[in-house]
Structure 1
Amino acid sequence: MPHAAEPLTVRRLPEAQGKSSHLGAEARLPTGMQHIDLFALSEDDKQALREGLFENGVVVIRNQQGLDPNVMPQIGKFFDSTAWDIHSGGVKMVTDAKNILSVNRGARIPRAQQVSVIGKGRFRDHEGIEELDLKHVSHTEFHETPLSAEEISQGFTRPYRWHMDAPLYERLPGFVTTLHAIQVPKQPDQKIKFSNGEIVDIPAGATAFYSGARAYELLSDDEKEFAQNTKVRYAPRAYEWMLDCKATDDALTIAKVGKEKRLDALPEWSWDKVHMFPMVWKNAQTGNPHLQVLGACVYELHTTDPATGQVTIMNDLQKVRDTVHKLLKRVYAPENIYFHRWQEGDLVIFHNRGVLHSITGELSASSKDDDSEKRLLWQCTMASGTAPVPYRHE
């Protein structure tokens, strides 16, 4: 007798078992479905996918070689019915050298303008793009005290910058980001040394994730109360503002004050378009709290006294950064980080309003056609029409 058709299932990844990251699962498509097709999924399949993503934070679908890039914005709209039909970074790829987001030299796919092309190396005639010379950013260019040349030669690396995919100005961050691996580096594993001295092997070019829910769990009761009553105001034109700043060793925030651009030297801006978000966001599916702070771009903290309604504004930038770093730093431990080991064809969907992520790896050899460090990914994150919902104790 033929086997009964299997529905879509979501199961924790083996490497995620036994860790406290709360992250990492694999979605297996229904029997006979090669590429994810949202229009062909049953209502039960859709519900399993939705619950799997919001509960596990990061979900991978394997063997998606040949995927139509237009599927990626469809996924964005599936998880957020209010998503705009543009990439949250804007209609065009960021190419202005005054903006730190331009350093990867990415591009947009002509037939799917919501999808960016990122990676490392030279590529010709990819998706109608005549030539690409993509850069894999290294922590050595962004950290205040980077690893030494000797440490890098020994295989060590660091996360580059922990962040959500969020413009922080004008356009609201999407609910999900999708990443699709076309080509992955053929390099040995690299290593990260954590502040407690523990060394962890990670894949070359791994994308690292931590859960905002786990970060919130690690707070004391007083810190949870402070976080729930605090809003984070981000800097105007944050990615231009912090272009010359350098990060802490753990990549959670900026190390020193003094290298920020003057506000009057930034491209035209207005306060009504600058984002101020709750520090703790409510998970749209589970209702759980997530500590969601993009530490490199914080500007002020606005804390409301629940008894009186009085708002206290912390605007000493060093104090703001120190406060945020104290809240976030406990999550930066091996047991709380999920490093995705990319396989060609992987389609990774992650909860952009529930996790933070960072590129990792030292892939800096000169680009050539047979470059074993080559890395090519598609990325899509859709601007939302819905603001993040603050979490409050019931």
Structure 2
Amino acid sequence: MAIQSKITVHPLASSTIDFGAEIRHADLENITPSDFEVIRRALYENQVVIFKNQQHLPPSAQYELTRLFDPTVQSYGHGKTLDAKKSILHPDLKTIPHQPQVQVIGNGPVAEFEGLKDITLKHPHHRTFHRDVISDEDDRESTRFYRWHIDAALYDLHPPRVTSLMAVQVPKTEYQTLRYDDGSDDELRVPRGSTVFVSSYRMYDLLSEEDKHFARTTRVQYAPHPYIWMSGAKSKTDGLGLLSEGLELPYEQLPPIEQEKVKILPMCWRNPVTGKLALQVHPSAVEKLHLEDGTVIDDLAEVRRIVHRLQRPGIAPELVYAVDWEEGDLALFNNHGVLHSVTGSFKPEEVRVFRQCNLASSEAPLAPVEIAA
């Protein structure tokens, strides 16, 4: 007789957001096969799941939970990207010495944490990545989506299936108004430093039938060493892709490029449990589009215009899930089915500590039937 799991799943109650759930009664240091089946199904049906009161969970258990979704892999999802000084990811992450697949992110001075000593964490602020920024006077009241993205190297390595994010220390401060500043009146109130998510399945469902066919049959080519390539470019005000000002680094200024490591991935990724399609594109890293008829769109401004037009409806304020972090929250999210972004700003002395883990997948994302066939 099979042992039934005691884990329960409680979907987020919202009239406009159709994803997100809390998982209760899970012992994440002693996950049985039946427990994992419940967690896995809950993740792929809800895309973002949160376990409360996990303050005791060590980095090793966070890593093991993340690895259960792809047991044959071990390497961190961004590979050696973090080692490149020009990479836009370089300042934001520190590696835990005894568990190198787990990174530390946050803000402020930390005397000691998991073997790291006298480190200073820096919360990403939109003024370091956006061309047009919120004034200093409004910075405490207002914020932006820093960068909508998926967690992935997008060169050589396959995109991680899941990411786990653990809130270790959280300064609870007031809410901010998140402004799109894109010619619309769109805005929403978010807790300071909230991680925000949107469903890429909803993003696909919002498309016209013509655009759905385009998305199902198009492949996206990402720039080689994309986080170095984009290091001089600036973001749109809504955080959904880059402005085309010719500021990307030329290939000759990038590390050596191996053509077989350049990623060309489907524009839509298929959910392994529900079969639903996600419009899953990293808008800042995209370089070319390969169409159904063999045509390649390589005009970067046009590629970005197309991707932005397809994705923008999916980040409407009523579709954004803004996590109000509490210490001990552990979030797991389906990195093949959501986009997410940092928000907010903190004073240099405000200490915030999170642990993040994702692992490069052993396989490419599941493609739509039209491409998979």
Structure 2 match to 1:158: 144
Q: Distance in 1 between matches of 2:368 and 2:5?
A: 37
Structure 2 match to 1:85: 74
2:67 aligned counterpart, secondary structure: helix
Asked if the contact 1:257–1:317 (Cα under 8 Å) also holds between the matched residues in 2, the reply is: no
2:255 aligned counterpart, secondary structure: coil
Mean Cα deviation higher: 287-296 or 186-195: 186-195
**CA deviation after TM superposition for structure 1 residue 42, in Å:** 5.1
Alignment coverage as a number of residue pairs? 366
Q: Distance in 2 between matches of 1:99 and 1:55?
A: 34
1:120 aligned counterpart, secondary structure: strand
Asked if the contact 2:107–2:348 (Cα under 8 Å) also holds between the matched residues in 1, the reply is: no
Structure 2 match to 1:71: 61
1:223 aligned counterpart, secondary structure: helix
Q: Decide which of 156, 174, 199 is 1:188's aligned counterpart.
A: 174
For the pair 1:321 / 2:304, whether they are aligned, the reply is yes
Q: Distance in 1 between matches of 2:189 and 2:241?
A: 24
Q: Distance in 2 between matches of 1:288 and 1:313?
A: 26
Q: Distance in 2 between matches of 1:76 and 1:273?
A: 25
Structure 1 match to 2:165: 179
**CA deviation after TM superposition for structure 1 residue 13, in Å:** 2.7
Structure 1 match to 2:366: 389
Q: Decide which of 62, 86, 96 is 1:98's aligned counterpart.
A: 86
Identity %: 39
Mean Cα deviation higher: 95-104 or 250-259: 95-104
Asked if the contact 1:73–1:85 (Cα under 8 Å) also holds between the matched residues in 2, the reply is: no
Mean Cα deviation higher: 338-347 or 124-133: 124-133
**CA deviation after TM superposition for structure 1 residue 141, in Å:** 1.4
Structure 2 match to 1:7: 6
Question: TM-score, normalised on structure 2?
Answer: 0.94
For the pair 1:144 / 2:143, whether they are aligned, the reply is no
Summarize deviations over 1:104-131 as a string: whole Å, max 9, x none.
2x21112211100010011012111112
Structure 2 match to 1:304: 292
Question: TM-score, normalised on structure 1?
Answer: 0.89
Structure 2 match to 1:280: 268
Asked if the contact 1:54–1:284 (Cα under 8 Å) also holds between the matched residues in 2, the reply is: yes
2:272 aligned counterpart, secondary structure: coil
2:265 aligned counterpart, secondary structure: strand
Unaligned runs of 5+ in 1: 306-310, 368-372
Q: Distance in 2 between matches of 1:392 and 1:96?
A: 37
**CA deviation after TM superposition for structure 1 residue 284, in Å:** 1.1
**CA deviation after TM superposition for structure 1 residue 150, in Å:** 3.2
Q: Distance in 1 between matches of 2:117 and 2:282?
A: 35
